[in-house]
Structure 1
Amino acid sequence: MNRRSLCIFLLPVSLLLSCLLQQTHAVRYVVTNTVPNTPGGQLFDREIGVNFTLSIMPTINDFIYKVFEERSPAERRNVPVLNVYISEFPGYAYKNGDNINISASALYNMYRPRSVSKWMFTSVMYHEMTHVFQWHGNFGAPGGLTEGTADYVMVKSGYYNQAYYTRPGAGKRWDEGYGVTERFLEYCDSLLQGFTAKLNKKMMYKYSDVYWVELLGKPVDQLWREYKAKYGNQPAEDSIDIFQGLKY
């Protein structure tokens, strides 16, 4: 078979800590390079690797729980198995169900210099793993809000390019997604400590714009206007991420 798959139960002793961390929150991690003979697949094996990916996943998982202030299993999404696939498809990365798919071609074309491959890959993993563990109102939440929340966790982790990331006050709409919505969530946090975590918990079963009023006392559109005014109503600009604007 032209596949390389490694389940965490088969890891060497050097990754025992990762195994123990998994048992803490009952998530099993599996990483599969489905295209090991492609340039991107070879880059993954050479510069990043299955073992490295497995070693960071429990840490990212725990960080997400911390950011969302989810202290008990009842507050968390039940994810028995989380798969990461390195494969070939148009685009960069996406989540479907409890699976994260990362494009080998994007790895090869965008991870430059090669020396920062692990750092860039870790940044993407913070974003994509957040999509797996965040609440989204049974898919009723605006897509821009879920993308902004995933970026929010990534920014909290420190794995983002501060020099090129979206500036506070940018954007056309509060639910534009990515950096625009991330900066707006930071602003809302400044009005109520832990706002983003509280909003995430409210979306366990459904989403409603009423949640913003319940938490902050104002409609979200009014909050957005006040946020824009705070930063001088600067002209809208595109959300910029470390992958040169390519959305994932």
Structure 2
Amino acid sequence: MSPSQFVLALLLLISLELTHATRDQIDDHSYEVPGENQCADELNICYKLWVLIGATQAISSTFNQKPGEDMKYNGVIKLLTESFNDSLTVASTKGNLIRLNADYLQHYRGDILEEFAGVVYHQMTRVLQWTGNGTAPSGLINGIADYVRLKGGHASKSWPRKGSGSRWDDGFAITAYFLEYCNDLKPGFVANLNALMKYSYSEAFFVQLLGKSVHQLWGDYKLAYATRRIPGSEEGYRKPPTRSFDSFPAVSIS
């Protein structure tokens, strides 16, 4: 068994709650991740805690907020790794409960720990981001979550290249790269977009923040990366398959 598989085996056995005490440690940056020797007996807990802290800091930095400040959810966040009895679904998030599919991780071809971290960054963002009271396109919501994953340094090697996609709201990595382009045009764009989505959503937010419609921006983005046109496909571009986040049936939270 490789070191990564050994760590994964430990990860599958536990769940972890991000307590208010931990939030305070994140807020004043006083928490230090224990060294490898200190974590030898409880590496599962140490690694999960390290990833959760990193994800919370990345979200706070991206949205220009302090942890727990003006976020959609401000309380205990629960992370559970368990079998979904399929290897395709990645994860499910409902309320403050994040469920990661152990079957997906076990069948993942690549760095398991890196993929684990990336999925947690995505799902943590889903808990804390604004969604326009549920009116924002799911592709944008998932795109913002993958944008946080991207800026946190945990982009997947399986992601399509920049400039891919047929629509700006295809979601996940496609929308994440588009949002990165928009944020480069005006630093802080993603943070401001998230803030505007606290109560409602409108495509006019793009005009308000960047002076162009989202469709004009998408056209500029495609032109910037000179995506090759493919005859007969929607809008002339190939649409890669999407990942099966959040397709697991909703679960109740006790």
1:6–1:71: structure 2 CA closer, same or farther, 3 Å change rule? closer
Q: 1:101 maps to which residue?
A: 99
1:47–1:141: structure 2 CA closer, same or farther, 3 Å change rule? farther
1:78 is the counterpart of 2:73: yes
Shift in Å, 1:58: 2.2
Shift in Å, 1:66: 0.7
1:8–1:175: structure 2 CA closer, same or farther, 3 Å change rule? closer
- Provide structure 1 residue ranges, at least 5 long, that are not aligned to the other structure: 10-18, 27-45
Kept after mapping to 1: 8 A contact 2:81/2:100: yes
Q: 1:206 maps to which residue?
A: 200
Shift in Å, 1:4: 5.1
Q: 2:136 maps to which residue?
A: 141
Q: 1:150 maps to which residue?
A: 145
The TM-score with structure 1 as length reference comes to 0.75
1:174 is the counterpart of 2:171: no
Q: Distance in 2 between matches of 1:6 and 1:174?
A: 35
- Provide structure 2 residue ranges, at least 5 long, that are not aligned to the other structure: 1-12, 28-40, 230-236, 246-254
Shift in Å, 1:92: 1.6
Identity across the alignment (%): 34
Q: RMSD of aligned C-alpha atoms?
A: 2.7
The TM-score with structure 2 as length reference comes to 0.73
Q: Distance in 1 between matches of 2:107 and 2:67?
A: 41
Shift in Å, 1:24: 4.8
Q: Distance in 1 between matches of 2:240 and 2:146?
A: 11
More helix by share: 1
1:65 is the counterpart of 2:60: yes
1:106–1:223: structure 2 CA closer, same or farther, 3 Å change rule? same
1:74–1:49: structure 2 CA closer, same or farther, 3 Å change rule? closer
Give the 5 Å matches for 1:11-160: 20-24=21-25, 49-71=44-66, 73-89=68-84, 90=86, 91-110=89-108, 112=109, 116-160=111-155
